[in-house]
Amino acid sequence: MSHSPAPQPAAARPLPPEAFAQWYGRWEPLAPTSAADFMDGFDRPWWIIGGWAIEAFTGVPRRHDDLDISMLSSDAEAFRRFLGDRFTPWNMDQGWLRPFDDRFQEVSPNSSLWIRKNALAPWVLDVPFTKDTGGQWTNKRWPDQVAPLDEVTWTAADGLLYLRPEHVLMMKSRLARGKDRIDAEVALPLLDAAQRHWLRDTLKHLEPAHPWLDRL
């Protein structure tokens, strides 16, 4: 007897803000300066990624829904100890969310942490991990691409460490949401020759038909 393959579940769609808050709780994200205060005393490297990193590079402001910082995945446990009892970190991995505590100490290098004080408090910080290879930055989308942290980050005028714009745009190119396209519009013309070369070669490897390649 033949059997039809089991139907595959539909891909989960992002929840609208009201439904998200109902299920997960609301967000009141930190800004870069308050993130610096939050991370004061953490002795491992961390850096700001995403739209805030593009704004630091271009100087062109836009509305931000959140603040993402990153750190090497091997520093996850050090970060949990740093937070102590002051905050509760939750591990977000492939759509499921669970506490990052003594019960669940293992986290995937490709997952992230959501941080809040307690169950009644808003989320304040999203920390996507960066997989490391021998203490070096490793490209999530192209794991063979490895580099020292000081080659993929830079220090802005505010004294904070940010992911370099070409690397931010590489990550944003995967989804190319409205805000990602806005960031590309303002940042691509400002890249220098070396940055354009890196982004062009990386996108050619990842997505040979990506529309941003026509501008590089």
Q: In this structure, is residue 191 part of a structural domain?
A: no
pLDDT digits (tens, 9 = 90+) for 136-146: 999 999 999 99
pLDDT digits (tens, 9 = 90+) for 139-181: 999 999 999 999 999 999 999 999 999 999 999 999 999 999 9
Structural domain that includes position 94: 17-165
Total-model pTM: 0.90
Q: In this structure, is residue 154 part of a structural domain?
A: yes
Note the maximum CA span of the chain: 69
Nearest by Cα to 187 from 206, 204, 167: 167
Q: In this structure, is residue 141 part of a structural domain?
A: yes
Q: In this structure, is residue 9 part of a structural domain?
A: no
